[in-house]
């Protein structure tokens, strides 16, 4: 190789070596903190394990366990309404009635038809004894009497349910129709609330995640706005096996003990449900949580060299006043960083101090990036 060619190659090779050294230097700087950087003062707190259940917060309205929608069995024109909203009624009290003109006429018509068929039956029976009428004719008259008897029974039954009576003692919550209106079959006329048994419930929907950890018999603490500072005991008595197609929640019912207090439908209350089912969870101080997005968060732990840190993604089960319940992401971690966590990045150099130690001279604490 001549001297000119050697000279021509020397400069590109040197340039490549310099370029490689620069890139290595860049990569090294990107993955390791600066060694001359002052350490950040941090403190650690232990991670605890255990079986926990979280209280679930919901709200709803007090209702009677004897709530009923009252209506007529048959259609017709409403003749009289004897009560108004808010009235207290007793069991069996007449609340409303239809115009009975048409209904009474149907009863009378069915009664007369039955009498006619009975006369026909008696006449054919005499003819049969005289061998003038056939057995078939006699049997047909028996059938006609039976059919007429049942028609009269139906007419009288409808006549009876052309009136609305209170099924028990209680209160008329709503009057939905008035005199002169035409009521169709089964259309609500009154919303009735029974109070004789003094049984009160709260009905509301829960999410799918909460539904799976709840069961009948779980306890609830009920706070009613009308009684500030007081709490009532409750218990889950009903749970739907499917979601409400309208809002996607799972309906449940909590029976509330009045404990001698006066309750009424529509009182607003808040509930704390206490699931008996427990989960095995990791508990950390809430100060360790640096970021959060829904059920995902991040915490920092100390590496084995006691100088660098690791940013760990975690799955948050629930939050309490000063704790975070973690369902995943901290396997094997014994401690998390709390004090100084707001200053950290994944490339930070740290110095661990005891819990009762204040900032030491010469230890750098940069401005909070958050």
Separation CA 363–CA 39 (nearest Å): 6
3-state secondary structure the chain: CCHHHHHHHHHHHHHHHHHHHHHHHHHHHHHCCCCCCCCEEECEEECEEEEECCCEEEEEEEEECCEEEEECCCCEEEEEECCCCCCEECCCCEEEEECCHHHHHHHHHHHHHHHHHHHHHHHHHHHHHCCCCCHHHHHHHHHHHHHHHHHHHHHHHHHHCCEEECCCCEEEEEECCCCCCEECCCCEEEEEEECCCCCEEEEEEECHHHHCCCCCCCEEEEEECCCCCCCEEEEEEEECCCCCCCCCCEEEEEEECCCCCCCCCCCEEEEEEECCCCEEEEEEEHHHCCEEECCEEEEEEECCCCCEEEEEEEEEEEECCCEEEEEECCCCCCEEECCCHHHCCCCCEEEECCCCCCCCCCCCCCCCCC
Backbone angles phi, psi at 4, to 5 degrees: -65, -40
Cross-strand partners of 301: 310
pLDDT tens for the chain, residues 1 to 370:
444 433 443 434 333 333 333 333 333 333 344 445 689 999 999 998 877 777 889 999 998 878 889 999 888 999 999 999 988 899 899 999 999 998 999 999 999 999 999 999 999 999 999 888 899 999 999 999 999 999 999 999 999 889 999 988 888 988 999 999 999 988 999 999 887 777 899 999 999 888 988 999 999 999 999 999 899 999 999 999 999 998 899 999 999 999 888 888 889 999 999 888 777 788 899 899 888 777 889 999 999 999 999 999 998 888 877 888 888 888 778 899 999 888 899 999 999 998 764 444 444 444 444 4
pLDDT of residue 37: 65
Tokens 């799976």 correspond to 212
Q: With contact defined as beta carbons under 8 Å apart, do 45 and 283 qualify?
A: no
- Tokens of residue 4, six digits: 């000119």
- Topology of domain 54-98+168-273, per CATH? Elongation Factor Tu (Ef-tu); domain 3 (2.40.30)
Within 8 A by CB and 6+ apart from 360, the residues are 41, 353
Give the CA diameter of the chain: 152
Closest by CA position to 307, among listed 351, 344, 261 = 351
Annotated domain spans of the chain = 35-53+279-352, 54-98+168-273, 101-161
User: CA angle at residue 97 from 94 to 99, to 5 degrees?
Assistant: 155
Considering the entire predicted model, what is its pTM? 0.54
pLDDT in the model for residue 13? 34
What CATH class is the domain 101-161? mainly alpha
CA angle, 159 as apex, 155 and 161 as ends, to 5°? Answer: 120
d(CA 126, CA 145): 16
d(CA 160, CA 140) in angstroms, rounded, equals 31
CATH architecture of 35-53+279-352: Beta Barrel (2.40)
Give the per-residue pLDDT at 169: 86
């Amino acid at each position: 190789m001549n001297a000119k060619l050697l000279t021509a190659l020397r400069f590109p090779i040197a340039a490549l070596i310099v370029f490689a050294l620069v890139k290595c230097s860049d990569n090294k700087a990107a993955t390791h903190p600066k060694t001359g950087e002052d350490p950040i003062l941090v403190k650690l707190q232990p991670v605890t394990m255990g079986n926990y259940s979280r209280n679930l917060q919901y709200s709803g309205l007090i209702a009677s366990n004897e709530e009923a929608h009252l209506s007529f069995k048959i259609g017709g024109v409403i003749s009289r309404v004897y009560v108004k909203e808010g009235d207290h009624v007793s069991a069996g009290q007449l609340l409303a009635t239809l115009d009975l003109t048409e209904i009474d006429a149907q009863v009378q018509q069915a009664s007369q038809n039955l009498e006619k068929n009975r006369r026909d039956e008696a006449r054919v029976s005499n003819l049969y004894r005289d061998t003038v009428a056939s057995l078939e004719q006699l049997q047909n008259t028996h059938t006609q009497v039976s059919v007429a008897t049942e028609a009269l029974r139906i007419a009288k039954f409808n006549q009876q349910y052309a009136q609305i009576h209170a099924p028990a003692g209680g209160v008329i919550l709503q009057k939905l129709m008035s005199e002169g209106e035409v009521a169709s079959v089964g259309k609500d006329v009154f919303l009735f609330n029974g109070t004789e048994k003094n049984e009160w419930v709260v009905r509301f929907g829960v999410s799918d995640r909460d539904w799976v950890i709840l069961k009948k018999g779980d306890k609830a603490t009920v706070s009613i706005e009308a009684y500030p500072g007081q709490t009532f005991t409750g218990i889950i008595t009903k749970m739907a096996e499917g979601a409400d197609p309208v809002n996607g929640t799972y309906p449940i019912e909590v029976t509330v003990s009045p404990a001698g207090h006066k309750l009424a439908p529509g009182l607003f209350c808040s509930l704390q449900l206490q699931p008996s089912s427990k989960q095995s969870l990791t508990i950390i101080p809430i100060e360790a949580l640096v970021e959060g997005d829904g059920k995902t968060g991040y915490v920092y732990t100390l590496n084995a060299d006691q100088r660098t840190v690791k940013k760990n993604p975690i799955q948050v089960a629930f939050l309490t006043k000063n704790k975070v319940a973690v369902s995943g992401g901290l396997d094997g971690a014994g401690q998390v960083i709390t004090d100084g966590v707001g200053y950290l990045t994944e490339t930070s150099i740290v110095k661990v101090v005891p819990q009762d130690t204040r900032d030491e001279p010469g230890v750098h604490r940069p401005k909070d990036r958050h």
